[in-house]
Amino acid sequence: LNNQHLGMVMQWEDRFFEGRRAHTWLGPVDAPEYTGSGDGDLGETYPDFVSIARGYGVEAAQVRERSELSDAVATMLACDGPYLLDVICPYQEHVLPMIPSGHSVRDIITE
């Protein structure tokens, strides 16, 4: 999953530090996503994982829409060698459940 941020770090910033960003955005500093105010809909991604993979001879594709995911996964699974599937997701989406630092499973966050 690629949300153009250091995803789990950004999630902690949102959950525990009022969304204050500390260099977790992987794009240009003049984009509104740098401060957490953009919509995350960018024409290009940083870094370009697909180009990097192909540079090493690895087949790769990028998916930006949920409707493309099934076909992309089928293509990936049909590949005989290594394959990179770069799935773009909104940076506002958090990975749940999560357990806060210093807490136990009893304190799990589910929403």
**Contact (Cβ atoms closer than 8 angstroms) between residue 62 and residue 76:** no
Query: Can you tell me which residue has the tokens 């690629």?
Result: 2
Give CA–CA dist 11/16, Å, rounded. 8
35: DSSP letter: G
Q: Which tens digits make up the pLDDT trace of 3-48?
A: 887 878 888 888 888 888 788 878 777 777 777 777 767 777 888 9
Q: Where are the domains of the chain?
A: 1-45+88-111, 58-87
Residues in CB range of 35: below 8 A, 6 or more apart? 21
Residues in CB range of 67: below 8 A, 6 or more apart? none
pTM: 0.74
**pLDDT-above-90 percentage for the chain:** 43
What would you report as the CA-atom Rg of the chain, rounded to the nearest whole angstrom?
16
53 pLDDT band, cuts 50/70/90, is very high
Q: At 3, list the tokens.
A: 């949300």
The dihedrals phi and psi of 92, each to the nearest 5 degrees, come to -75, -15
